[in-house]
Structure 1
Amino acid sequence: MSRTEMTHDQRSHTFRDSIQDAQAADRIPDTPQTRAPAYRLAFTDDDFMMRSELRPVRLQLELLKAQMVLDERGIEGTVVMFGGARIPAPDRKDTAKTPALAELSHYYEEARQFAAAVTARSLEHYGRDFVVCTGGGPGVMEAGNRGAHEAGGQSIGLNILLPHEQAPNQWVTPDLSFNFHYFAIRKMHFLMRARAVTVFPGGFGTLDEMFEALTLIQTRRMRRIPFILFGAEFWRKVVNWEMLAEAGTISPADLELISFVETSTEALAIIDAWDYDCE
């Protein structure tokens, strides 16, 4: 690597940096000593980095990588979109596994329109605030990233490694497409910059994300922000919210944390009316 090819950080170092030494390690003589695992540089030793004792380090790295990239891209705030991976686009609803999923396909289009409208507003502020953020997968997540792309803006995809094959949908901005091993770190990144949370019909993953975020707001571990559920009929069947309050397991005031809407227009009105300065 020539001096002109070196990064600014590399040129500013007084001592040799890690990149230079990693490259030098590839050129060392091949001997029994240099082939031994103990001789490997710790930060280039995959076997060492994957040891269970290094889990705290991997957790930190997974938190830090996305944090640094988002900071470097100037992302200040996000609009989170949770929702089912199995909900098809309206023109693909004949592929739905159940008639109920086919019926829910119109929420794909609502998610797409909502993301496009949010992104159009974000672009008025250089695309740094109110950036669409999804789980990066298919279904409602795809709709969110797709709407942002069609509006000419960027969007974030926070994928998670699962036992079955999964890849980011094609609409996620490549430089903002992340992959996580730890669910907990992924959840942190969903909410650390959130300016609003929207939840579309979904399954276990959507429910998990929804209740985690609601609990953090309820317990004031994070500030209150617009928390919008698309599809009142669906969500009132899935969760008997009023029963929770009647039983005393939540406070009646906790029900006010949630807004139910059917359309992207209604959701945008809630966000527009929100006084972020007082929360």
Structure 2
Amino acid sequence: MTERKEPPHEPGKPGPHGKPEPADRALTPRKFYKAEQEAAFSEGSPTHTPQTSHPAYRLAFRDTDFLLRDDLRPVRFQLELLKAETMLEEAGVGSMFVIYGSARIPSPETAEELLAKADTDPRGRSVIESLVAKTKYYEEARKLAYMASAAAIVENGERQFVVCSGGGPSIMEAANRGAHEAGAESVGLNIVLPHEQAPNEFVTPRLSLQFHYFALRKMHFLMRARALAVFPGGFGTFDEFFETLTLVQTGKMKPIPIFLFGREFWEKVVNFEALADEGVISHEDLKLFRIVDTADEAWDRIVKFYKLNPAAKIA
């Protein structure tokens, strides 16, 4: 005897016996409320007693005071790692072209204004003139980001060499600006600082991420990095650059193209040959990076390193 099969029906509509089927009896995979629904139940409750009003009664994930306790630091580490990873993955970012550099070098639009105020600037005219002279690096960072973004390389359904900066002004702004001018999205990994720090206007809003921990920020810089361009900068730039060199030198990270932009600057501020001569690094370690002066030279070497289609060499 063939078993009779009842036709499918929807919750709330008449079932096989003419009666509405309760929604909670539907064959759905979820039988528990989502966290946001549970939170709404809790916060919308009309019951107000000393017990429900006390901070102890708050749902843990809604309790900011609890999450900011010192002993919750491991959880905050995990959240910073997970949030950025989730956002980048959902945006289809397969790999990134990371661009570091100073937050003080002016853009061409602000260089003349800065120079005009040099005599009243507490840093002194010579320092201001030096910064203005480095405006050329702003333009090279902008051009390099444009070239990488215009190449529009997609592999395994994910975008490759998505430009990523620290999200701030100056060289970071130039990187995001170049990508924006190429019509591409770009990433900005901002960091909370005691003084005002805001993302530059060219960072793609959905890829504008903020970090509390420098360590987690630097980790995300390198997790997807397939090339690194380091422009003249200060302590922060040196920190990120030398940490990357250390990871590659010790074998913790596979080699990637690493470029120092500005031979005049780098050979003046760091004597790499002296480090090798003193024996604290080997002369082979000097091959971990290359000093360049132009965006064209850097992008050409990336194309050759990864054996990209020559069409990627878009000027």
Contact residue 154 and residue 160 of structure 2 kept, 8 A: no
Contact residue 94 and residue 158 of structure 2 kept, 8 A: no
C-alpha separation in 1, matches of 2:42 and 2:158: 42
Report the Cα offset of residue 122 of structure 1: 2.5
Out of 202, 205, 218, which is 2:233 matched to?
202
C-alpha separation in 2, matches of 1:245 and 1:238: 16
Out of 247, 252, 262, which is 1:221 matched to?
252
What is the alpha-carbon root mean square deviation over aligned residues? Answer: 1.6
Report the Cα offset of residue 257 of structure 1: 0.6
Structure exhibiting the larger radius of gyration computed from Cα positions: 2
1:241 counterpart residue number: 272
Is it true that 1:265 corresponds to 2:296 in the alignment? Answer: yes
Contact residue 149 and residue 184 of structure 2 kept, 8 A: yes
Identity of aligned residues (%): 55
Out of 112, 122, 126, which is 2:142 matched to?
112
Contact residue 119 and residue 127 of structure 1 kept, 8 A: no
2:35 counterpart residue number: 18
Q: What secondary structure, in the 3-state scheme, does the structure 1 residue paired with 2:144 have? A: helix
Count of residues paired in the alignment: 267
* Gap regions ≥5 residues in structure 2: 1-27, 116-122, 309-315
Report the Cα offset of residue 19 of structure 1: 0.7
Contact residue 127 and residue 153 of structure 1 kept, 8 A: no
AA at the equivalent of 1:104:
K
* Gap regions ≥5 residues in structure 1: 1-10
Per-residue CA deviation, residues 227-269 of structure 1 (Å, 9 max, x unaligned), is 0010011011111000000000001100001111111001111
C-alpha separation in 1, matches of 2:95 and 2:154: 14
C-alpha separation in 2, matches of 1:50 and 1:230: 40
Out of 100, 107, 125, which is 1:82 matched to?
100
Alpha carbons of 1:206 and 1:138: their partners in 2 closer, same or farther (altered >3 Å)?
A: same
TM-score, scaled relative to structure 1: 0.92
1:131 counterpart residue number: 162
Is it true that 1:154 corresponds to 2:176 in the alignment? Answer: no
1:102 counterpart residue number: 132
Report the Cα offset of residue 90 of structure 1: 1.9
1:182 counterpart residue number: 213
Per-residue CA deviation, residues 1-26 of structure 1 (Å, 9 max, x unaligned), is xxxxxxxxxx7422112111111111
C-alpha separation in 2, matches of 1:153 and 1:266: 22
Contact residue 159 and residue 179 of structure 1 kept, 8 A: yes
Per-residue CA deviation, residues 172-193 of structure 1 (Å, 9 max, x unaligned), is 0000000000000000000000
C-alpha separation in 1, matches of 2:283 and 2:153: 38
Q: How does 1:3-42 map to 2 (within 5 A)?
A: 12-28=29-45, 29-42=47-60
C-alpha separation in 2, matches of 1:34 and 1:242: 67
Per-residue CA deviation, residues 189-225 of structure 1 (Å, 9 max, x unaligned), is 0000001000000111111111011111111111100
AA at the equivalent of 1:81:
I
